[in-house]
Amino acid sequence: MENTEEEIKVAPHVKNKHTDDLIDHYWGSISYVASLIKASELKAGLILSFFGILLNFIYPNLDAVVSHFENVLVIDILLGLWFLSTVMSIYYSIRCFMPRIEAKYEKNIFFFGDVITKFGGIKDFARTFYKISLDEDQLFDHLGQQIFINSKIASLKFKNVNKALKFLALGLLIMLVITIYYVITSF
């Protein structure tokens, strides 16, 4: 089947007839990784909210609870460990929100920091963006690099969330030990 002259004029730069599918695939991957970044930040925010509620409940009642214990040294150690695990969990939750972007990558037309700092003014960027968008090899290279960079950011954020969750679990375990100790010493 021969292409008509009109079809050749409309899309002379198309190398791959599945380009639209590939572009959707790349953008779908970028959207998926961006949703992972949002999910990690949502989890970190929920951990911080949980601690806000928990600390708001514990702090006003701490003196009343501590006064019921005969062996203050044991409860002080347990509370110290609980406090340390809580601080660590909060620290890793907050770290999830801090951008951890490395600057040693090639400039990329899809990275917001590069758009502003590495492509000149608005007209220069628009021309470069258009030129790269017409060249499938460069376009897919830039999209692939952005997927990699976003995936690296998502991975670091989830590592911080996982550490925050581990310290949260440790803190809850310590609180359970304190509660059991309280029940045992109350009898």
Let me know: does 12 contact 134? Beta carbons within 8 Å. no
Let me know: does 141 contact 21? Beta carbons within 8 Å. no
Domain regions of the chain by residue span? 19-186
Q: What distance in Å separates the CA atoms of residue 82 and residue 59, rounded to the nearest whole number? A: 13
Per-residue pLDDT tens digits of the chain, which is 187 residues long? 444 444 444 445 555 667 778 888 999 999 999 999 999 999 999 999 999 998 888 888 777 777 777 777 888 899 899 999 999 999 999 999 987 776 688 899 998 888 999 999 999 999 999 999 999 999 999 999 999 999 999 999 999 999 999 999 999 999 999 889 878 877 7
Q: What distance in Å separates the CA atoms of residue 135 and residue 15, rounded to the nearest whole number? A: 9
Let me know: does 168 contact 50? Beta carbons within 8 Å. yes
- For the record, the structure tokens of 16 come out as 């791959």
Say what the pTM is. 0.78
